[in-house]
A and B are shown apart, each in its own frame.
Chain A
């Protein structure tokens, strides 16, 4: 055990300690989690900088030496997670004002479980962490405020998908054990069908947690339907799905020589998720549902990049493979951070407006906390892929990788790359609608007069922190890429160089190069250029005569301003998409007559209630599945437990006989 390993061990233990402390004192629990997150951050940065951390080691039940340790791959994920958790833990101290301290307990448990599964070197503890994470998250969702039946249903959906995920992961791990003869996370070099089975199970199992299509219901429903607490939502949507990404990466890193169809399938699933996630995000009216759908989109992007990398690997395009892997890692990082800030902002909004409904916020949020406001803007714009933020860099890298799919040898993969590229580009447009809607209808809305509630500064600062990190890793992307090069190296098993360089008058190392030569992007130059332009504008303003400002009411086509009910609704903002994409969204208008009215002298036959609904067609499938399962279970119950004493006696008799014979024979 080295120093960094000690820090890592302390951090992991610290999370579980936070759970224990949380049981006694809610806020103290979060404070301990915050301290543990900082330790984890130190360990991760150290591991990336100095080539690993080796924590506590022990001899497992099978005689193998297991340990808590960070290699490049796991250090990357603990780094991302620790930044997220620093923000969410600090935020929770101010946010969590529920009567029960259970949320704090489950929060600590979830964090500890995720830290454990990433940091351990054995698949057994990975599974332990995985299952603990699922159960603890289930507990967090149950702490949601709202109609208890709805919360319970939502949590149950989460648990059902979570257990299905564990099942598939279990099979994948069993496959790895069978192939390598060990539970350690070591490379497997076995041919035949086994690696493909492991891959398929891992893709489904981890995909269930990442919330990619067709399992995306596992992502949006628990968060949106239960209105889960914001700190829980941030942990669920950012780091729980990150754990899924880690699992998939880890499994792929131990499997060598992927056949080309792995990449094709991954790319296809990713592209569908990206499109569905963006589409549903743009028509979502829930301050948490919208970012949850965006998670589906972002994790889809990770899969797209990973798919390109896998195809390129099978196709022998090393440059493209490395670049796509960097894109995948960067996307995972950018998303985890930005999404955290957005969920925290949703809680911030809820704190002030007491609603999750974008339509009814309408200026009830005061922009009184500039730090939180700026952080939210940075995070939301990053998710909308606006330069020079982190999300822009990763989106650019993924699109650049997709552009190079013409280099694939098999025409089928070229075609998939083409279609995926179109889907990603379309989604980029749709997600812009979603993010503008989120920002516009929460924080940018003109505050309604008379509302004096102010969000506390404690909620704004963590958001600002994450926002600053999002901006920092966007602007400093070339250096961050070099810093995470060990992670990509650990994934591939060989050291790689980050795809950075220089061109024209941009200094060497300031630009990201997507091929040799293909595309080039210099994130640091963007703010420099913006600043230069800003300086010119400011100079013009400073040197010129000071202009007087004139405040006038908003022009409302000659009507008095702002009569109640005469402002555009958030729903209205995206109805165009609902109508245009009605074949995908299954849009339908439900018109019900809600009563007769008579206004003086005019024929007013009825008041109508009109709802324009969209439907996730996959939900329909799962609903049918549940109904089918219910019917089977009920039928089975009726068949084997009819409640007749005679049948039970016969059953007991035969069972006893069977056991006697079996024992006697043995």
Chain B
């Protein structure tokens, strides 16, 4: 059994006195996971969240029956002469998913924005109860297809922890490979979306082409463009030999070069940079207050990454650079993402070069958070993703999750206040939100 990825607190950490922020709180209030940003440790508290953390936990856990709409951001009602609500969505040009934004405005300026989710609520988590773990994995992949690797990795790790199963090391390497590929895809996709909003059409086409190449590589390695079924037993990758791995490494080197060139061009474009600079600023205090995670948090000057803070193999053995910006605007978030693309290319290079033949050995699972209950977190492309799974007799009893989208909605809603309508898309895309994973 590996060392626990958290310190179990013997009293309520009262996080808001010392500065940490809530990371996950179970709906039934039986446990809360905190990040202590001061010490870089995670703290597990077997009890309900307290203080301001409880507000966030309540916000994240707002989940009704399938299809029930709920605001996912904080609300500070604004009234005034000529102030009205500008409804945007759920079906709109700019946001590809179904979600509504209620903008309070007196025209042009965003006084308050309330994202509303629930239009895509498929009730996946509730439907998992009573199914076996491999069966459930296939559903988890489909929470959000472009984030499947992160979701499956976190879900499987939570199940393994709950059941106390040790894992073949190869499995962990495969998960890391999948996650890093998908991180590159998602970050490149975010850059493409912003290029689209800024009418950078050549850059947009190039970026989409790059993202498509990553998808094709995923298809070649995992047998599916979104890697569905790629992380369960007997998946395609196990059959890949050294030659296929070398080919993948060569492709990745080429893509890395392409990305470098492209990113340089983007940074040279005033049109691109001007539209995201000083747009939707989430300063350090706001990010911590509202529990932001991932590139959003790192762009606000807080260096937390689950791959480093709660590392599991193979991340324990690989070099990973942790990009950080401190302006907190959309530009900073995009720069962090671009740096992470570089870091992921480097990680993949290390991973593939050390991967000689079959990787032997097994890794022990993390200790359960409670008997039969596993808690796992991975660094998804947009940030910290937490799964909380209760398994009894090989059957899922309960699944809870806190996705990076959950955690970043409030920061987005607070940061966009005072912006203008045209800031919306640049702000929205820079967070890399997914309504699908918010709804589940």
Interface residues of A (CB under 8 A from B): 285, 359, 556-559, 563, 565-576, 578-579, 594, 597, 599, 601-612
Contact sample, A vs B, 15 pairs, CB 8 Å cutoff: A557-B92, A558-B91, A559-B89, A571-B81, A572-B105, A594-B79, A597-B77, A602-B74, A605-B76, A606-B76, A608-B76, A610-B79, A610-B111, A611-B81, A612-B80
Docked complex Cα distance between A559 and B100 (Å): 9
Among candidates A569, A601, A602, A608, residue contacting B84 with C-beta atoms closer than 8 Å:
A569
When C-beta atoms are compared, the residue in chain A nearest to B71 turns out to be A602
- Interface stretch, picked from B52-60, B143-151, B196-204, B334-342, is B52-60
Among candidates A359, A576, A601, A607, residue contacting B82 with C-beta atoms closer than 8 Å:
A359
Docked complex Cα distance between A569 and B90 (Å): 21
- Known contacts being A557-B90, A612-B106, is A601 close to B80, with CB within 8 Å? no
Interface presence of B268 (CB below 8 A) = no
Determine if B62 and A601 form an interchain contact, defined as CB atoms under 8 angstroms apart: yes
Shortest distance in angstroms between B202's beta carbon and chain A's nearest beta carbon?
30
Docked complex Cα distance between A556 and B100 (Å): 11
Determine if B82 and A571 form an interchain contact, defined as CB atoms under 8 angstroms apart: yes
Determine if A611 and B90 form an interchain contact, defined as CB atoms under 8 angstroms apart: no
Docked complex Cα distance between A577 and B107 (Å): 10
Docked complex Cα distance between A603 and B80 (Å): 21
Docked complex Cα distance between A578 and B55 (Å): 37
8 other contacts beyond A558-B91, A610-B106, A611-B80, with CB at 8 A cut-off? A557-B100, A558-B90, A558-B100, A568-B84, A569-B84, A571-B82, A601-B58, A601-B59
Determine if B76 and A567 form an interchain contact, defined as CB atoms under 8 angstroms apart: no
When C-beta atoms are compared, the residue in chain A nearest to B98 turns out to be A558
Residues of A within 8 A of B85 (CB): 563, 565-566
Residues of A within 8 A of B173 (CB): none
When C-beta atoms are compared, the residue in chain B nearest to A605 turns out to be B76
Residues of B within 8 A of A597 (CB): 77
Residues of B within 8 A of A569 (CB): 82-84, 106-107
When C-beta atoms are compared, the residue in chain B nearest to A285 turns out to be B82
Interface presence of B87 (CB below 8 A) = yes
B52, B77, B420 interface centre (most CB from chain A within 10 Å): B77
Docked complex Cα distance between A359 and B100 (Å): 25
Residues of B within 8 A of A558 (CB): 89-92, 98, 100
The 5 A-B pairs with the shortest beta carbon distances in the complex, nearest first, are A571-B82, A572-B107, A575-B107, A558-B91, A610-B80
- Known contacts being A601-B62, A608-B76, is A559 close to B90, with CB within 8 Å? yes
- Known contacts being A285-B82, A575-B109, A610-B106, is A604 close to B87, with CB within 8 Å? no
Shortest distance in angstroms between B40's beta carbon and chain A's nearest beta carbon?
27
Residues of A within 8 A of B89 (CB): 557-559
A578, A594, A599, A602 interface centre (most CB from chain B within 10 Å): A602
Q: Give the B interface residue count (CB, 8 A).
A: 34
Among candidates B58, B79, B86, B98, residue contacting A609 with C-beta atoms closer than 8 Å:
B79
Determine if A604 and B79 form an interchain contact, defined as CB atoms under 8 angstroms apart: no
Docked complex Cα distance between A45 and B58 (Å): 79
When C-beta atoms are compared, the residue in chain A nearest to B58 turns out to be A601
When C-beta atoms are compared, the residue in chain A nearest to B119 turns out to be A558
Shortest distance in angstroms between A433's beta carbon and chain B's nearest beta carbon?
12
Interface presence of B75 (CB below 8 A) = yes
Residues of A within 8 A of B52 (CB): 603
Docked complex Cα distance between A610 and B74 (Å): 18
Docked complex Cα distance between A579 and B108 (Å): 8
Residues of A within 8 A of B108 (CB): 572, 575-576, 579
Docked complex Cα distance between A168 and B302 (Å): 70
Residues of B within 8 A of A570 (CB): 82
When C-beta atoms are compared, the residue in chain B nearest to A358 turns out to be B82
Residues of B within 8 A of A604 (CB): 74-77
Among candidates B55, B98, B100, residue contacting A601 with C-beta atoms closer than 8 Å:
B55
When C-beta atoms are compared, the residue in chain A nearest to B61 turns out to be A601
Determine if A557 and B81 form an interchain contact, defined as CB atoms under 8 angstroms apart: no
Interface presence of B78 (CB below 8 A) = yes
When C-beta atoms are compared, the residue in chain B nearest to A612 turns out to be B106
Determine if B59 and A602 form an interchain contact, defined as CB atoms under 8 angstroms apart: yes
Determine if A557 and B91 form an interchain contact, defined as CB atoms under 8 angstroms apart: yes
Docked complex Cα distance between A265 and B289 (Å): 59
Docked complex Cα distance between A609 and B106 (Å): 11
Interface presence of B88 (CB below 8 A) = yes
Residues of B within 8 A of A557 (CB): 87-92, 100
Residues of B within 8 A of A285 (CB): 81-82
Residues of B within 8 A of A608 (CB): 76-80, 111
Residues of A within 8 A of B82 (CB): 285, 359, 569-572, 575, 612
Residues of A within 8 A of B91 (CB): 557-558
Docked complex Cα distance between A610 and B106 (Å): 9
Residues of A within 8 A of B90 (CB): 557-559
Residues of A within 8 A of B71 (CB): 602
Docked complex Cα distance between A265 and B84 (Å): 44
Determine if B81 and A359 form an interchain contact, defined as CB atoms under 8 angstroms apart: yes
- Known contacts being A559-B90, A601-B55, is A610 close to B83, with CB within 8 Å? yes
- Known contacts being A607-B76, A608-B77, is A572 close to B106, with CB within 8 Å? yes
Docked complex Cα distance between A605 and B75 (Å): 8
Shortest distance in angstroms between A373's beta carbon and chain B's nearest beta carbon?
25
Docked complex Cα distance between A285 and B109 (Å): 18
A578, A606, A612 interface centre (most CB from chain B within 10 Å): A612
Shortest distance in angstroms between B411's beta carbon and chain A's nearest beta carbon?
13
- Known contacts being A558-B91, A572-B107, is A603 close to B74, with CB within 8 Å? yes
Docked complex Cα distance between A563 and B108 (Å): 20
When C-beta atoms are compared, the residue in chain A nearest to B74 turns out to be A603
Shortest distance in angstroms between A363's beta carbon and chain B's nearest beta carbon?
14
Residues of A within 8 A of B420 (CB): 579
- Known contacts being A557-B89, A602-B59, is A566 close to B84, with CB within 8 Å? yes
Residues of A within 8 A of B86 (CB): 566, 568, 572
Contact with A along B98-125 (1 / 0, CB 8 A): 1010000111110100000000000000
- Known contacts being A557-B88, A565-B84, is A602 close to B55, with CB within 8 Å? yes
Shortest distance in angstroms between B151's beta carbon and chain A's nearest beta carbon?
26
When C-beta atoms are compared, the residue in chain A nearest to B100 turns out to be A559
Contact with A along B328-356 (1 / 0, CB 8 A): 00000000000000000000000000000
Docked complex Cα distance between A611 and B71 (Å): 25
Docked complex Cα distance between A567 and B86 (Å): 7
Contact with A along B35-69 (1 / 0, CB 8 A): 00000000000000000100100110010000000
Among candidates B78, B100, B106, B111, residue contacting A571 with C-beta atoms closer than 8 Å:
B106
When C-beta atoms are compared, the residue in chain B nearest to A568 turns out to be B84
Docked complex Cα distance between A359 and B79 (Å): 14
When C-beta atoms are compared, the residue in chain A nearest to B77 turns out to be A607
Residues of A within 8 A of B58 (CB): 601-602
Residues of A within 8 A of B88 (CB): 557
Residues of A within 8 A of B80 (CB): 608-612
Among candidates B84, B87, B98, B106, residue contacting A556 with C-beta atoms closer than 8 Å:
B87
Residues of B within 8 A of A602 (CB): 55, 58-59, 71, 74-75
Shortest distance in angstroms between A31's beta carbon and chain B's nearest beta carbon?
41
Determine if A566 and B87 form an interchain contact, defined as CB atoms under 8 angstroms apart: yes
Residues of B within 8 A of A571 (CB): 81-83, 106-107
Docked complex Cα distance between A610 and B91 (Å): 29
Residues of A within 8 A of B77 (CB): 597, 604, 607-608
Residues of A within 8 A of B62 (CB): 601
Docked complex Cα distance between A476 and B92 (Å): 48
Docked complex Cα distance between A285 and B83 (Å): 13
Shortest distance in angstroms between B114's beta carbon and chain A's nearest beta carbon?
10
Shortest distance in angstroms between B223's beta carbon and chain A's nearest beta carbon?
36
Docked complex Cα distance between A612 and B105 (Å): 11
Docked complex Cα distance between A571 and B108 (Å): 10
Residues of B within 8 A of A568 (CB): 84, 86, 107
Docked complex Cα distance between A578 and B82 (Å): 13
A557, A568, A605, A607 interface centre (most CB from chain B within 10 Å): A557
When C-beta atoms are compared, the residue in chain A nearest to B116 turns out to be A559
Shortest distance in angstroms between A585's beta carbon and chain B's nearest beta carbon?
14
- Known contacts being A570-B82, A574-B107, is A599 close to B75, with CB within 8 Å? yes
